[in-house]
Amino acid sequence: MAHITLQDLKHSYNERPEDDDDWALKHLSFECEDGGAYALLGPSGCGKTTLLNIISGLLIPTEGRVLFDGKDVTGLMPDQRNIAQVFQFPVVYDTMSVYDNLAFPLRNRGLAGEAVDQRVRQIAAMIDLTDTLHQRAAGLSADGKQKISLGRGLVRADVNVIMFDEPLTVIDPHLKWQLRSKLKELHQQVGTTMIYVTHDQTEALTFADKVVVMYDGAVVQIGTPVELFEKPQHTFVGHFIGSPGMNILSCELDNGKPVLAGEVISANPIKQTPPTGTNLEIGIRPEFIHFAKSGLAVKIVRTSDAGHFSIVETLHKDQSIKLLVPEGAEIPTENAFIEFDKAHTQIYADSQIIT
């Protein structure tokens, strides 16, 4: 268990990085509190795995430092950092039995006998491997092997941090739920710092206390799931989180008020007026738009039913706006008007929030 500090990290896989594109991580600093459950969320190729490998010591960052409890570990090898890591694809030691696989990290730290046995059985029971404990690991199915990987990550109680790199990719959907809630449960029991990398927002939002959203080698927002939902700091976050994502509508400013194609919109007040020439956008989640008697005139393009609500796609001038309508509510066909919920209407300048 440790407090993890990442200071001014930069990493490039090129030996002599020249332009911006050579950097897999572009200047990144953040802290993980002791005992927190963190999720690194972002699209494929945004640098999540690179960051994880830097924390575990498999990669040495080009610049910057990694601190565990204030102690600089940047130069330490993975085996000296006292961590556990679970990878996306199952990794098992084929030549050992399931039991020996699970016991391996414990034995490497000098544990023996009863202590190992007890812990291995406890973990095996948790991930449903008790029946296969004495089989050879090589003979198991892909999700069986991944369970071993998970188990091996969880088996040591004294690690600084456990890292998961998209660990549930190869697991069956029904088992995913089960394993995720088990992980969550275990986190509450032992309170180890956990970092969970994923590109699946449901996984990130259900697992983590705090979600770190990454985009193109940089952190765009760190926050609780609610913060990410209600106040995205970056249009990418708004777009990436939520289904459907945030409506991003290009607009202009007039006396500090956003103007959307000639109509003034009421939004959160702007904290700082951006310089002229920046690209201005309104961000509003479909959840916070509703039909009204007056407001923005829109044309309804399509309605799709999504269970408890319908997603209505509308067109205002040439900008598409999506909104969510609860089940049973009436959807106007002609002369439709929509209204934005003022408290949840944000303004972005060059993709960064300014409200």
Partner 1 sequence: MQRFKWLVPTLYIIFLMLPIYWLLNMSFKTTNEILGTFSLWPREFTLENYRTIFTDSTWYNGYFNSITYVVLNTVISVTVALPAAYAFSRYRFLGDKHLFFWLLTNRMAPPAVFALPFFQLYSAVGLFDTPLAVALAHALFNIPLAVWILEGFMSGIPRELDDTAYVDGYSFPRFFFKIFIPTIASGIGVTAFFTFMFSWVELLLAKTLTSVAAKPIAATMTKTASTSGYELGLLAAAGVLTIIPGAIVIYFVRNYIAKGFAMGRV
**Cβ closest to partner 1, residue 1 vs residue 91:** 91
- When binding is defined by CB under 8 A, the residue of 12, 32, 39, 53 that contacts partner 1 is 53
Strands of the sheet containing 346-349, edge to edge, are 247-250, 280-284, 346-349, 352-353
Q: Is 108 in the site for partner 1 (CB under 8 A)?
A: yes
Interhelix angle 98-108/142-154, rounded to 10 degrees, is: 20
Closest by Cα among 23, 24, 38 to 222: 38
Residue 88: φ, ψ to 5°: -60, -45
Judged by CB, which is closer to partner 1: 163, or 289? 163
Cβ contacts of 151 within 8 Å, gap of 6 or more: 101, 102, 123, 124, 126, 127, 129
Written as six digits, the tokens of 182 are 């088990």
What order do you get walking across the sheet with 37-41 strand by strand?
A: 84-86, 161-165, 193-198, 37-41, 210-215, 218-223
Site string for partner 1, 9-48 (x = CB under 8 A): ----------------------------------------
CB nearer to partner 1: give 77 or 329.
Answer: 77
Nearer to partner 1, 57 or 217 (CB): 57
Longest dimension (CA), the chain: 76
Which residues are within 8 A (CB) of 114 and not within 5 positions of it... i.e. 6 or more apart?
none
Interface characters, 125-164, with partner 1 (x: CB under 8 A): ------------------------x--x------------
Size of the site for partner 1 (CB under 8 A): 23
Residue 76 vs 311, nearer CB to partner 1: 76
Q: Which stretch binds partner 1 (CB under 8 A): 90-98, 195-203, 263-271, 342-350?
A: 90-98
The residues of the shown chain that bind partner 1, judged by CB under 8 A, are 53, 56-58, 77-79, 83-85, 87-89, 91, 93-95, 104-105, 108-109, 149, 152
